[in-house]
Amino acid sequence: HDALYCAIWTFSPAISRAKYCHSVDLHFCPHDLMYPDSADYPDLRKHNNCMASHLTPAIYAKLVDKATPNGYTLDQAIQTGVDNPGHPFIKTVGMVAGDEESYEVFADLLDPVIKERHNGYDPQTMTHPTDLDSSKLKSGKFDERYVLSSRVRTGRSIRGLSLPPACTRAERREVEKVVVDALAGLKGDLAGTYYSLTHMTDQEQQQLIDDHFLFDKPVSPLLTCSGMARDWPDARGIWHNNTKTFLIWINEEDHTRVISMEKGGNMKRVFDRFCTGLKEVERLIQEKGWEFMWNERLGYILTCPSNLGTGLRAGVHVNLPKLSKDPRFTKILDNLRLQKRGTGGVDTAAVGSTFDISNLDRLGQSEVQLVQTVVDGVNYLIECEKKLEKGQDIKIPPPVRK
């Protein structure tokens, strides 16, 4: 009886248009034969995102009948970009990866998207340097009359399990299990506790909110349209160490987001802990036969192509009352390869004159290089602020090496 409803059980990496078919290996879907690819090509005329800029009908036709070994398809990868046309001033990426293989199978689209988003980085010819040796960082202690807090974040994906847009409930639970088991092995100032979103008590929830640690179900359509919020809050949680300086989000936009942070300006210590913590977690998962998704073409593999390479955002909350009102502020930031955000994070406005300043780049430079860029850049901004306080003039710095 079941045979009437199940298609053929042939496993094939290149299968035609298997929509949302995680658990069934379909050989072909008969109804796909009814429509030419042009009938399914999305209408992107009002769109302004990287996917829309590069998805030609020819590329669509070439990739639409492919799927990764997990059954993830092009239509799924681009859904978020189709559903979110974008903003004339802010160019979003417009697509996601459902698994590690997405970056190979859909390379004809992802490579140009990556190249545009990451300033010309060409995945076909270049290699990405990974360097988590924090001892190489020079200076890294900011003037605390200006810098209020320091933070470094990245993401890591567990090889062999699909990414949040495509993972099944069991895979997501597996990610949680693998990571939580590893975190339980952390010691010393890294020792901590896991709080599952499903099981936390009201008291724990309140404490996490007060600490500004709690993440909630995403509301941004950029994220929800990719399918990453399915089954919320199943297998989602927050781990942090007892001193609240090392924090891990599980199964939000990525398998893991790893955050090291402190009040004050000691970026060096924040980065030290970041690197130590990451390496420890990696060692602990390797003991159990797992590893992170990484390759030398793209560095660390994450859900959004914008986070490839290092996935690293190192930043500070810094007070720059005079500099932020100077008309040259934006150009200075650009040349320093820095980005400003409000203190609520991406897409928020600054409160007063306190800004979140962080690195623009993610791919093509190592972790050490990017944190150094932030250290050097923020020091320069503070120097400018001090000069303006004294009534002296400031200079726009030459563009740093990209």
Partner 1 sequence: MEKINDKMAKLTIKRLSPEEEFPDLSQHNNHMAKVLTQDMYTKLRDRATPNGFTIDGVIQTGIDNPGHPFIMTVGCVAGDEETYEVFKELLDPIIEDRHGGYKPTDKHKTDLNPDNLKGGDDLDPNYVISSRVRTGRSIRGFCLPPHCSRGERRGVEKMSVEALDSLSGDLKGKYYALKNMTDAEQQQLIDDHFLFDKPVSPLLLASGMARDWPDGRGIWHNDTKTFLVWVNEEDHLRVISMQKGGNMKEVFNRFCTGLTKIETLFKDKGTSFMWNEHLGYVLTCPSNLGTGLRAGVHVKIPNMSKHAKFEEVLKRLRLQKRGTGGVDTAAVGGTFDISNADRLGFSEVELVQMVVDGVKLLVEMEKKLEKGQSIDDLMPAQK
The response to whether 169 counts as a known ligand-binding position is no
Q: What is the footprint of partner 1 within residues 224-243 (CB under 8 A)?
A: 224-225, 229-232, 234
The 3 state secondary structure assigned to 205-217 is HHHHHHCCCCCCC
Q: Which is nearer to partner 1, 87 or 169 (CB)?
A: 169
What number of other Cβ atoms are within 10 A of residue 44's Cβ? 19
Q: How far is CA 41 from CA 35, 98, 128, 239, 303, in A?
A: 11, 20, 33, 42, 23
DSSP result, 96-133? --SSTTHHHHTHHHHHHHHHHHTTT--TTT--------
Whole-angstrom distance, CA of residue 92 vs CA of residue 102:
19
Phi, psi of 10 (to 5 degrees): -85, 130
Whole-angstrom distance, CA of residue 251 vs CA of residue 369:
28
Applying CB under 8 A, the span of 160-168, 182-190, 276-284, 347-355 interacting with partner 1 comes to 160-168
The response to whether 149 counts as a known ligand-binding position is yes
Q: Which helix (H) or strand (E) element contains residue 354?
A: strand 354-359
169 is a site residue for partner 1 (CB under 8 A): yes
Q: Decide if 303 contacts 228 (C-beta within 8 A).
A: yes
The response to whether 317 counts as a known ligand-binding position is yes
User: What is the DSSP-derived secondary structure letter of residue 28?
Assistant: -
What number of other Cβ atoms are within 10 A of residue 91's Cβ? 15
Per-residue binding string, partner 1, 294-333, x by CB under 8 A, is: -x--------------------------------------
Q: CB 390 → partner 1: shortest distance, Å?
A: 53
Q: CB 76 → partner 1: shortest distance, Å?
A: 10
Among residues 12, 21, 136, 141, the one that binds partner 1 under rule CB under 8 A: 21
The response to whether 192 counts as a known ligand-binding position is no
371 closest CA partner among 313, 293, 300 = 313
Q: What is the footprint of partner 1 within residues 87-126 (CB under 8 A)?
A: 99-101, 104-105
**Tokens coding 49:** 């995102």
What number of other Cβ atoms are within 10 A of residue 169's Cβ? 12
DSSP bridge partners of 357: 316, 340
Among residues 49, 50, 77, 79, the one that binds partner 1 under rule CB under 8 A: 79
Whole-angstrom distance, CA of residue 13 vs CA of residue 72:
10
Among residues 10, 198, 220, 242, the one that binds partner 1 under rule CB under 8 A: 198
Please report where in the chains the tokens 């998704």 appear, as a residue: 293
Applying CB under 8 A, the span of 17-25, 137-145, 202-210, 353-361 interacting with partner 1 comes to 17-25
**Dihedral sign computed on CA atoms, order 30, 33, 35, 40:** positive
Q: Which is nearer to partner 1, 199 or 402 (CB)?
A: 199
Q: What's the first-to-final CA gap in the chain, in angstroms? A: 62
Q: Which is nearer to partner 1, 31 or 401 (CB)?
A: 31
Q: CB 361 → partner 1: shortest distance, Å?
A: 25
Applying CB under 8 A, the span of 15-23, 88-96, 113-121, 353-361 interacting with partner 1 comes to 15-23
Question: Residues binding partner 1: what is the number (CB under 8 A)?
Answer: 58
Secondary structure of residue 359 in the 3-state scheme: strand
The response to whether 313 counts as a known ligand-binding position is yes
61 is a site residue for partner 1 (CB under 8 A): no
Q: CB 311 → partner 1: shortest distance, Å?
A: 19
DSSP result, 314-329? EEEEEE-TTGGGSTTH
Q: Which is nearer to partner 1, 35 or 351 (CB)?
A: 35
Q: Which is nearer to partner 1, 56 or 339 (CB)?
A: 56
Whole-angstrom distance, CA of residue 34 vs CA of residue 266:
62
Among residues 63, 67, 82, 137, the one that binds partner 1 under rule CB under 8 A: 82
Q: What is the footprint of partner 1 within residues 29-58 (CB under 8 A)?
A: 29-31, 34-36, 39-43, 46
Annotated binding residues for ATP = 149-153, 212, 257, 313-317, 341-346
Annotated binding residues = 149-153, 212, 257, 313-317, 341-346
Contact footprint for partner 1 (CB under 8 A):
2, 5-7, 11, 13, 17-24, 26, 29-31, 34-36, 39-43, 46, 69-70, 75, 79, 82-83, 99-101, 104-105, 159-162, 168-171, 173-174, 198, 224-225, 229-232, 234, 291, 295
